[in-house]
Chain A
Amino acid sequence: MNTAEAVLDIDAIVIGASAGGVEPLGVLLEGLPAGFLPSLLVVLHVPADRPSLLAGLFGARCQLPVREAMDKEKVERGTVYFAPPDYHLLVESGRTLALSRDAPVQFSRPSIDVLFESAAQAYGPAVLGLVLSGANNDGAAGLQAIRAAGGRAWVQEPTDAIAGAMPAAAIARAGADLVLPIRDLAERLAHLRTGRAFAI
């Protein structure tokens, strides 16, 4: 299979990043071309008590619209959504965004597992989960749920990550379809062609 030209039926890409995750996330988002079709939903662990600057920070470096998620918002294609600080971000089956202030999961709110598990339910096989640098094991259970529902899993190579524990935990628990350094993941992602006929 020529993976650079791989055709995946992907509607959404969910990304989890924690310690050391800002840089690889930037590499991924910067590389995406205008007109990129799948929606992107991102959990980056940030301190709860600070106003989020993530949407502004990454928006300046990304050709796609970047927003902080608003409750009940319809998930638009080719748009990057960040989980707001101190809220879990989820997707409903009707593909609208949902927020919650349920208890932190493994000390994290937003939690990568919470996003990934809801995306597995909402998108089934049409979702790709990506786990990047981090120092805990958030995302491992979520990635397992994504794979169990037929979705894909890509993981930053632990030795390529500033904090390799989170990608390593994800690989150990869920396995992965692709484990590569961030530059290679970014290239694959940018060239991702979807075989999906999008409903607008």
Chain B
Amino acid sequence: MPRVDAEVTAQPLPLPRALQPGDELQPAGADFDLELRLLLEGVYGKYQHDFRHYAMASLRRRIRQAMSRFGCATVSQLQDRVLHEPEVFAGMLQYFTVQVSEMFRDPAYFRAVREKVVPILATYPFVKVWVAGCSSGEEAWSLAIVLHEEGLLARSLIYATDINPEALGTAQAGIYALDRIAGFSTSYLKAGGKGSLADYYTAAYNNAIFDKRLKAHIAFSDHSLATDTVFSEVELVSCRNVLIYFDRDLQARAIGLFHDALAPRGFLGVGSRESLRFSPYADAFTEFLRDERIYRKQ
């Protein structure tokens, strides 16, 4: 009997077909999670962006959206594109992280910073503030306005950090769509704004361009709460609705960084439904304002 050479006779398997409209995505389940872990490892190994300790439940949904966006039926197909097409990775950042922010979002928080925290900061010769995970910068600009109106901006520096270069670019430009400004203005007033938000921007071509004089006191910079270390001592950390995207381990790391960065008796503001209670640093902070979620380092 003649020997059959498998290499010669085997038919190549068909290549996976690109996702078509209406095609089903890979179902949720064990394989999806396995492939997602591999994707996150791959991204870390290749691009040094560490999403391995992001909260899984919401990440799964965003990865599904990315699969639709990039025409991939499985996470493994997405991984192939992410690893071999750097521009796909760049586009993935907006799925790994969440870019939603508003000026003076949760006005009660900004009012509390203005009325309860700033008077204490005002007793220091120089004030440094860290807006961690600043995304497109709305909160950093909001805090600059608060500090300006309270007469403190001239001796303040705000560090606004994020891992997403595109979001940081937007933050640094300080240009926001004009149709968002009405909402920002309402929140500004609810937050105890002393003038009009219009005092701080000029309108041009459907955009609001914020005042360069504020920007002189904001340093925008790339920084990862997952992989980088502390870069400065600060008196106030504002990190709101960022920790919700981390698992408990990464959340603990981030809070540890804030703890190390904060001067004694420094302030930490988190999102309205975030708590230090589930972190190893629970006892290292006291609740300064419970409802507004502002803590103070012991």
Contact = CB atoms under 8 A, between A and B. Distances in A.
A91 B57 contact: yes
A117 B62 CA distance: 13
A148 B98 CA distance: 28
Interface residues of B, number: 25
Interface stretch (B145-153, B210-218, B267-275): B267-275
A87 B106 CA distance: 13
Contacts of A127: none
Contacts of A70: 273-275, 277
Interface stretch (B4-12, B68-76, B240-248): B240-248
B61 A114 contact: yes
A96 B165 CA distance: 32
Interface in B181-222: none
A98 B241 contact: no
Interface string A5-16: 000000000000
A71 B58 contact: no
Contacts of A72: 248, 251, 275, 278
A99 B60 contact: no
Contact of B273 (A84, A118, A149): A84
Contacts of A132: none
A3 B61 CA distance: 35
B244 A99 contact: yes
Contact of A68 (B55, B56, B251, B273): B273
A98 B250 CA distance: 14
B1 interface: no
A73 B278 contact: yes
Nearest to A122: B57
B28 interface: yes
B273 A98 contact: no
A117 B61 CA distance: 9
Given A84-B273, A87-B273, A120-B28, A102 B57 contact: no
B98 A118 contact: no
Nearest to B60: A121
A72 B279 CA distance: 9
B60 to A, nearest CB: 7
Given A71-B243, A93-B56, A121 B28 contact: yes
Contacts of A100: 55, 57-58, 98, 244-245
Contact of B57 (A87, A103, A121): A121
A99 B273 CA distance: 8
A69 B57 CA distance: 15
Between A71, A117, A121, the greatest number of chain B beta carbons within 10 A of the residue's beta carbon is seen for: A71
Between B61, B100, B248, B273, the greatest number of chain A beta carbons within 10 A of the residue's beta carbon is seen for: B273
Nearest to A87: B273
Interface string A40-79: 0000000000000000000000000000111111000000
A68 B98 CA distance: 23
A155 interface: no
Contact of B98 (A90, A98, A101, A145): A101
B243 A98 contact: no
A102 B99 CA distance: 8
A88 interface: yes
A102 B275 contact: no
Contacts of A69: 273
Interface string A94-126: 001011111100000000001001101110000
A150 B55 CA distance: 24
Interface string B32-63: 00000000000000000000000111101110
A71 B244 contact: yes
22 contacts: A70-B277, A71-B243, A71-B275, A72-B248, A87-B273, A88-B58, A92-B55, A92-B247, A93-B57, A96-B248, A98-B57, A98-B244, A99-B244, A99-B273, A100-B57, A100-B98, A100-B245, A102-B62, A102-B98, A114-B58, A118-B57, A148-B27
The 10 closest A-B pairs by CB, nearest first: A100-B58, A90-B57, A118-B57, A72-B278, A71-B244, A99-B244, A98-B57, A84-B273, A92-B57, A98-B55
Interface of B: 27-28, 55-58, 60-62, 98, 100, 241, 243-245, 247-248, 251, 271-275, 277-278
